[in-house]
């Protein structure tokens, strides 16, 4: 049967007073060290002894010594108390300056085009912050999974998150390789997609994403089919460049391939606009300095048109 172990309320009361008396072998000197009255020290030690169930000190009018129980208590209590003090100092430092490990959950597509240059400049500016990037296409619960923040397309961020813009809005382009288009023809209207090989995206919830389009200002979604299903844009982009079919991907991801002629855009008048990429983190009363420094670094970029707002 599983047992629950907890620290009893008040279990640490009087320990600091005991350690000060044991160190100084004097209630008066211990009181001066801790900035309290000798009577307060005596009361704290008496309360501790009552709780422990044993006398910890031998007191005379001229001296203070440790009992055997006191010696054993000192042997175990002092290193444990020192560790608690050290832990408090570490936590205080992390709460006052940018330091420690900043954990980010990000999709694979944003790493080379956005995150690598951003992390490089941030690390130069804040050498005491260690950045950990966990690449995942899933919308993880960043609080439960121990992340400080995540990066995602704006439309996928929960409403209870604070969002910081990383990119301007961009179009979702449909593109295919010259070889595929020569073989299968170019679609001229959204309905033509139903006869094309389309590379599809599986969302983190398991559903297959429909293709959103802008039909003369009217938002529509098209169900497509094709030879490949992937859970990330780079895989779809690579398959499109290999001639497997058409892919709908964010324009910044496809920019190099389009510029090099490895892909050609189709149905451009119907390309919808996505909100852009955002850093997001839980709304909380105090943002850790390491995350605040990262947010400020994002906003300091010359190209940043950033905002910080509820998602």
Q: What is the tens place of the pLDDT at every residue in 96-142?
A: 678 889 999 998 888 887 888 889 999 999 999 999 999 888 878 88
The pLDDT, as a whole number, for residue 306 is 46
Same domain, 70 and 90: yes
Same domain, 30 and 162: no
Same domain, 23 and 56: yes
Domain boundary among 95, 129, 158: 95
The pLDDT, as a whole number, for residue 86 is 74
The pLDDT, as a whole number, for residue 138 is 81
Which residue range forms the structural domain that includes residue 133? 100-168+276-310
Percent of the chain with pLDDT over 70: 89
Count of structural domains, the chain: 3
The pLDDT, as a whole number, for residue 59 is 84
The pLDDT, as a whole number, for residue 204 is 79
The pLDDT, as a whole number, for residue 1 is 39
Same domain, 68 and 120: no
Does residue 56 lie in a domain region? Answer: yes
Whether the full predicted model's pTM is greater than 0.85, yes or no, is no
The pLDDT, as a whole number, for residue 91 is 63
Same domain, 152 and 30: no
Same domain, 297 and 263: no
Residue ranges in the chain modelled with pLDDT below 70? 1-12, 88-96, 284-285, 302-311
Does residue 35 lie in a domain region? Answer: yes
100-106 and 129-135: which strand pairing?
parallel
The pLDDT, as a whole number, for residue 106 is 92
Same domain, 209 and 250: yes
Domain boundary among 67, 95, 123: 95
Same domain, 207 and 243: yes
Does residue 1 lie in a domain region? Answer: no
């Amino acid at each position: 049967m599983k047992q629950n172990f907890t620290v009893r309320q008040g279990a640490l009361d009087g320990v600091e007073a005991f350690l000060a008396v044991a160190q100084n072998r004097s209630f008066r000197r211990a009181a001066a060290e801790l900035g309290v009255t000798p009577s307060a020290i005596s009361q704290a030690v008496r309360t501790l002894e009552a709780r422990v169930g044993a006398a910890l000190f031998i007191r005379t009018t001229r001296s203070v010594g440790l009992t055997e129980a006191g010696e054993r208590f000192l042997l175990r209590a002092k290193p444990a108390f020192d560790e608690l003090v050290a832990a408090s100092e570490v936590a205080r430092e992390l709460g006052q300056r940018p330091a420690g490990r900043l954990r980010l959950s990000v999709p694979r597509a944003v790493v080379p085009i956005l995150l690598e240059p951003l992390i490089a400049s941030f690390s130069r500016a804040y050498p005491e912050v260690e950045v950990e990037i966990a690449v995942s296409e899933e919308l993880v619960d960043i609080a439960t999974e121990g992340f400080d923040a995540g990066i995602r397309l704006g439309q996928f961020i929960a409403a209870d998150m604070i969002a910081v813009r990383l990119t301007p809005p961009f179009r979702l382009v449909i593109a295919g390789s010259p070889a595929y288009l020569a073989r299968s023809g170019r679609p001229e209207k959204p309905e033509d997609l139903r006869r094309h090989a389309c590379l599809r995206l599986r969302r983190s919830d398991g559903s297959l994403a429909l293709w959103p389009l802008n039909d003369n200002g009217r938002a529509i979604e098209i169900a497509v089919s094709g030879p490949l299903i992937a859970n990330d844009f780079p895989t779809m982009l690579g398959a499109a460049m290999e001639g497997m079919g058409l892919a709908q991907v964010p324009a910044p991801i496809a920019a190099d391939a389009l510029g090099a002629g490895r892909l050609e855009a189709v149905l451009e008048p119907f390309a919808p606009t996505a909100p852009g990429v955002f850093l997001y983190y839980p709304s909380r009363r105090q943002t850790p300095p390491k995350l605040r420094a990262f947010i400020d670094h994002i906003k300091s970029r010359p190209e940043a048109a950033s905002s910080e707002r509820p998602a």
